[in-house]
Amino acid sequence: MFTIEQIKEAHAKVQSGADFPNYIQDLIILGVKGYDTFVNNGNVEYYGVNNYKVSTDEKYPEIQVAPVANKERFIEFLVMHQDGQTDYLTFCNHAAQSGIAKWRVDIIEMTCTYFDKADNEILIEKIPG
């Protein structure tokens, strides 16, 4: 099974959203099946086979997530991040401003789904392979 330390090593290679597809490939090699990232504090829960799960600690001071999602504005911020124009913390702040409370990466389906505070799906993206 994978450890948080192994995941941190893979994540250390990520400088911007443009590096995300390579990060996913590293997680596949480790045996990660998916993970949830919580925008309010950066905590991540990673999932493996047989209900295996490990979690990180909070990564930054709490960010307030807007109560209502603004999908159009979020997509603008997401495109900027994927183009390498913003760093991770800036993207998290933009997501929170847009009402995104968490995102779930499903490595089996190769999707990233963004959710609001009520756990409604706001956007589902295919992850480039």
Dist. CA 112–CA 105, nearest whole Å: 4
Structure tokens at 44: 């991540």
Domains parsed from the chain with CATH numbers: 4-126 (3.30.1810.10)
pLDDT tens, residue order, the chain (129 aa): 899 999 999 989 887 777 888 898 999 999 999 999 999 999 999 999 999 999 999 999 999 999 999 999 999 999 999 888 998 899 999 999 999 999 999 999 999 999 999 999 999 999 876
Beta bridge partners of 45: 36, 55
With tokens 């929170």, the residue in question is 96
Tell me if 35 sits within 8 A of 104, measured CB to CB: yes
Q: Read off the pTM.
A: 0.86
Sole residue written with tokens 């480790």? 30
